[in-house]
A and B are shown apart, each in its own frame.
Chain A
Amino acid sequence: MKFYNVLPLIKQEFKTNIKYILFAFLLLTAIFSVALLTISLSISMPNMIYKRANEVFSKEEIRLNLSNIKYAYLNKIFEKNVYNVHIKYDAENIIMRGAILSTDSGKLAANKVGRVAFFQDNNYILESNLEKEFILEGEKWSFKDNAKNSKGNYCIWLNQRTSRELDIKIGDKILFSSEKIKKPFTFYVKGIFSDDVVSSDFLLPFECGEEMLKTTEYNTRCSGALTLKYFDEYLQIKRELENLGMYVYPIKQLEELLFSKSIIQGSLFAISLLLLLAGMGIMCNILQMIVQSRIKLIGVLRAMGMSINSISLLYISIFEVVVIFSVLSGSIIGYLFNNYSSNLLTTLFPEDISGCLYEVKSILMALILLNLLMFIPWRVIINKIDKLNVVQIVNSEN
């Protein structure tokens, strides 16, 4: 039987069963509005908590304090999604111990005691400092630039004091060797920075520093800190670092916040799911009630050759209409309530709660979920019709 031929029957059955349909509509609207409100809140409340967390924990402050970092683990730390890494280690002393710098002009700086800073791609603080025109001569540091020039020499930025001492100009080559570094490194001077920018004499690309350190037997422990890019990754990164054998000093306030977020989100989501399941149970029962009340007609339709699937389609279609409309009206009510509750929450916590995007998401989610759940009532109705004793129905008295 074609669907368009079921339509006149749907229309007729809609009229006949209007009291059940109205009852189902009101009941489901109520359930969906509460369910959607909770789904919506389960999404918007953690968002509000995030916003609040962003206020409380600024990017620089969400810092994981580490201790006992082995140099061998540094690479793994740098792979993390972090804004910045502050590692206190004596690499400078090791690299600079017995260092000899020689320039093209023949000037030498032996046993130079200085400091070196390694650039990292996401060195947030350094980047912002250099953007403030601390570069006095030469090129500004660009993280996207190649760390080496065309001849394969690493770039170097010197502070003004060192460049004056050694009379170094932009474009000069510097040869660097020290006690701990087996192979000397040739640098290409790309820029000169102000002495105020960092407490370092040299700024080197990170991979250069890494290569230098690899040539040493440096494997001692040091302490450091990570500045997180996304604070909600805190627990995961902390766990990963602890797996590497590092001790991470906990940020209690952040941990509590993340815990309360997961509790609120989880419980609200569970409530909404339970409500949707209850909705599905009610749908099954109302469908059974309709089938029961129309049992004679169904029996006669079967006797006339209407297939079980077509009869199921007839009643499921009616119900689909009811479900769609009740989801939509429930969503509107849920949305209005959510707006009200959001306003209330905004008053209590003066952070802005996001717009309707979350509600749209929840409506879509509910519609998809409900249509998946409709599979169960569909099976219920098919089984019920299949088990009907048509003989008994058609032979029964009115």
Chain B
Amino acid sequence: MIKADSLTKIYYSGNNSYTALKDVSFSIKKGEFLSIVGRSGSGKSTLLNIIGTLDKPTSGSVIVNNKRLDCLTKKQLDQYRNKEIGFVFQSFHLEPSYSVYKNVEMPLLIANVPPKERKEKILDALLKVDMLGKEKNCASQLSGGEKQRVCIARALVNSPSIILADEPCGNLDSVNGRVVMELLKKLAQEGKTIVLVTHNMEDAKMTDRIITLKDGQVISDEIL
């Protein structure tokens, strides 16, 4: 489903350059729950951003569902991010002045989903993350765990096939972290492909496969 082929990412700053990824190749099957682990600066977030088309590799390519991402136009990339990908961010990035409902609604508005269908999908997504009944609450009034659950609801409301989670438990306590990980595991069991970036081995062990990065290179690829 996802195939990364010789991915290299070099950041340039004036005359200096920094290699974040060096010839990284791997493939992920549909429905796989995969974690990418490594120390800070190992290139795991960069890898996730490249798969999510938020960033471009310096060389190499990513193929998702038989489509080479570097061959897509701007419009096609926007559609890919909207329909194929769901992002879960460490800092949630919910709009604090919007209600839970409005926050979850955003991807559906972008996808031009009709209002009636929109409502059904939002309530369904909130039900999955156990946030039904709080849809009218303002995002700023939620706890960290609740925010992350709303973030997950927003990621899956458009029924994407891939969910990219960047340190989803990074800002949560252990109890809420566990809840979020259980939720992601459940989504994987339902057939979603989940790529999790974490530096917490406890969380990584809950996934089906662990790719370890060091200095921008894959040092291990372990199926659990």
Q: Identify the A interface with B (CB < 8 A).
A: 1-2, 5-6, 8-9, 12, 15-16, 296-297, 299-301, 303-308, 310, 390-391, 394-398
Contacts and interface: CB of A to CB of B under 8 A. Distances in A.
A390 B105 CA distance: 20
B92 A398 contact: yes
B81 interface: yes
A296 to B, nearest CB: 6
A8 B105 contact: yes
B78 interface: yes
A246 to B, nearest CB: 68
Contacts of A297: 95
Given A16-B97, A398-B92, A303 B110 contact: no
B112 A394 contact: no
12 contacts: A1-B112, A6-B109, A12-B98, A297-B95, A299-B93, A304-B87, A305-B83, A305-B107, A305-B110, A391-B54, A394-B93, A397-B91
Nearest to B75: A307
A394 B81 contact: no
Main secondary structure of the interface of A (DSSP, over half): helix
Given A304-B82, A304-B107, A305-B80, 6 more contacts: A16-B95, A297-B95, A300-B95, A310-B110, A395-B89, A395-B90
B52 A301 contact: no
Interface of B: 45, 49, 52, 54-55, 74-75, 77-83, 85, 87, 89-93, 95, 97-98, 102, 105-107, 109-112, 166
A1 B81 contact: no
A303 B81 contact: yes
Contacts of B79: 305
B97 A394 contact: no
A305 B109 contact: no
Contacts of B52: 303
Contacts of A303: 52, 54, 81, 87
Contacts of B90: 395
The residue in A1, A305, A398 that gathers the most chain B C-beta atoms within 10 A of its C-beta is: A305
Contacts of B106: 9, 300-301, 304
Contacts of B109: 1, 5-6, 8-9
Identify which of A1, A310, A395 gathers the most chain B CB atoms within 10 Å of its CB: A395
B55 A391 contact: yes
The 4 A-B residue pairs with the shortest CB-CB distance in the complex, in nearest-first order: A305-B82, A305-B81, A305-B78, A5-B109
A127 B148 CA distance: 93
A15 B107 contact: no
B62 to A, nearest CB: 15
Contacts of B92: 398
Nearest to A396: B91
A296 B92 CA distance: 11
A318 to B, nearest CB: 14
A394 B83 CA distance: 18
A272 to B, nearest CB: 38
Contacts of A396: 91
